[in-house]
Structure 1
């Protein structure tokens, strides 16, 4: 019985048909989105042969989220969330259709292509926080952590398999086919969205005032603030991805096979933790789970930096990936349970910003520290700083330690 409870809790999928449809639609569209990322990168490289332009693809995807994310959250808190989510899905699907048309027939300039990517990212910036507001409405309080773990599994599956599938489609039928598949997956997302309940919040103040109200809530809500600060501590202070090439060169001879395994090991740990998520989603003390997960992330990365054997290093990266998934699921559970419905759109938008911006800042921090010292020192100092910051958050936010579902 204990072993059975260790595996991912599929109860929300079995018991809540509306959530099951939403999960399937989001997972399917996640695969399509990953295929589009591969296709856009390939097409931009084919058109320009420039790493500057391929780097601009990431900017086209990230800037709308960073610039409009909080305003999109305010929109989610002012309008019918189901309608907004449907419009966001339709907008993203239309962009995929336009991307397919330009690939097959129009052959537009690269700036226009990036413009389409940016417009699609704008729709995504509104659709993602709208979708997350439905989980507390669809799932019971004690099922929310399990539902978030299932959502995490769908996301990780798309991240792992989507690019590979995109490469296969790209090789056989070309970039246009990837965009067509992406557009079709949005049909599944729409199918999942039509069953959602109408959800019109009490209403946020328009424009910048609504954004300010959301930020004020984050400042005065210790549980939500502590959860988001824990995520920032883990990502900004100890994100390791940018350091992998240097550490591989410093400690393991620059072997490209080792470098590739570094990239995969963190993802493998996340998948394993998701598969065994029953071990932590069924626990009542989600605040402690989050703090332990974030601490384990920092410790594992520091231990990876000290490992002289590549297999031991890979094992520590697997531990880090598992700890990250544990912390992310518990953090999202805490945020959703401590956010009033009227603020849910703005808070989930802020959580999305933290999840996207924190790793980017962390990779920049790691690179700057490594340039001044070494990759090993950057990893160790980042891991130690992460642990210290998490302990400070735990000490200053006793509610996180005491919180029970």
Structure 2
């Protein structure tokens, strides 16, 4: 693909300079450390910086919502059902948002959707501060939040390939994922400390303030309009259908989605974390256990991101995805087989490292294998898979955990991940042979 596509409308001159040891070569520790080349490009640096402030705030809400629902109902199944309430709007608006991101200026779309997310967080704060205590209201707000997230994510992710050259896409994905995962470490830990002190309502308020702060960074992004006149047509169902046809004609894209669905649906047990914290790990302290369980996977992902120089330059993207998903499944099996909190944290951290590797290469496959006029729609489907898969997992694990017990449900899910991924790898050479 033509690299000029990614710079023509960025408003920034491409920066081809390389710090010593930070390029494709490098020696000693530089080959292990995170590849920071994309940060030398001002436009990407602004997009990346817009995620820093909100990384912690968004995770405060991610902990507060299931905690509030569990407190109101005393049921992990309700945690799963509430998560499902956000799935339909996420699916619809991510697919539509991907089509919109291919039809309008992506910077403008980011401004609109970030504003909507901030308003939704304010409403979360209002319902908690007034002591409304309604699961229905929480589910409605969650649905609205997921609709805005579905519109926002495709535009944000599709913009990356316009701001950095192809060889830096894995590094850019690693940088973005590491920031978000760092927030997922600090956010849950901070939530575990703050909930007994200030309560749930203030967690929502912190998230709202953080989302407002991102608007400044997004305002400073360059304009990112469509590159062709054909891409300026109306973003309707026909455009969405074109995206699915595009996926069907590019098997490696389809298989990368399937690999992530396997990992998330069968192997993401977060709906059981409140139950594990309250029962299995209660002797360690419920608040501490809850915070550690939510933070452990992101801790591992951050460690993987900081050492992304070990893998971000790999060219065999398909095999890296397959190996990472198998390691994820094994680690989740280990979580289900232990009753020791600290051993559980180690297994979840190992799963986080594997998840980082998978995210980096799945993201690179999507951005490198799709043309710019299709990237928004590819990222829309990617958003549905990445965010929708865990929500299906919430229902599956919440229901299975209530029936079989949390540890049995988790171990069984990890085993299914390993078996299904091995079948996928053996049956479909397109993914295991994909390389750039």
| Match 1:278 to one of 309, 315, 340 | 309
Cα distance in 2, alignment partners of residues 237 and 231 from structure 1: 10
Moved more, 4-13 or 183-192: 183-192
Cα distance in 2, alignment partners of residues 208 and 21 from structure 1: 32
* Equivalent residue number for residue 121 of structure 1: 146
Aligned 8 A contact 2:56 2:187 in 1: yes
* Equivalent residue number for residue 155 of structure 1: 180
2:391 paired with 1:360: yes
Cα distance in 2, alignment partners of residues 309 and 338 from structure 1: 43
Unaligned stretches of 5+ residues in structure 1: none
* Equivalent residue number for residue 254 of structure 2: 225
2:35 paired with 1:35: no
* Equivalent residue number for residue 243 of structure 2: 214
Aligned 8 A contact 2:182 2:298 in 1: no
| Match 1:8 to one of 34, 38, 58 | 34
Aligned 8 A contact 1:21 1:191 in 2: no
Distance change in 2, residues 1:17/1:27 (3 Å): same
Aligned 8 A contact 2:90 2:143 in 1: no
Cα distance in 2, alignment partners of residues 119 and 214 from structure 1: 24
Q: 1:64: Cα distance to partner?
A: 2.3
* Equivalent residue number for residue 284 of structure 2: 257
2:354 paired with 1:323: yes
Aligned 8 A contact 1:24 1:188 in 2: no
Moved more, 174-183 or 64-73: 174-183
* Equivalent residue number for residue 401 of structure 1: 432
Aligned 8 A contact 2:266 2:413 in 1: yes
Cα distance in 1, alignment partners of residues 186 and 418 from structure 2: 32
Aligned CA-pair RMSD? 3.9
After superposition, where does 1:68-217 map in structure 2 within 5 Å? 68-97=93-122, 110=134, 115=140, 118-165=143-190, 178-201=203-226, 202-203=231-232, 206-217=235-246
Aligned 8 A contact 1:245 1:254 in 2: no
Moved more, 273-282 or 60-69: 60-69
Specify which structure has the higher proportion of helix: 1
Aligned 8 A contact 1:22 1:189 in 2: no
The 3-state SS of whatever aligns with 1:346 is helix
| Match 2:371 to one of 340, 348, 364 | 340
Q: 1:296: Cα distance to partner?
A: 1.5
Aligned 8 A contact 1:298 1:383 in 2: yes
* Equivalent residue number for residue 386 of structure 1: 417
Moved more, 196-205 or 289-298: 196-205
Cα distance in 2, alignment partners of residues 176 and 241 from structure 1: 22
Paired residue total: 399
Query: What is the TM-score when the length of structure 1 is the normalising length?
Result: 0.81
Aligned 8 A contact 1:258 1:310 in 2: no
Query: What is the TM-score when the length of structure 2 is the normalising length?
Result: 0.76
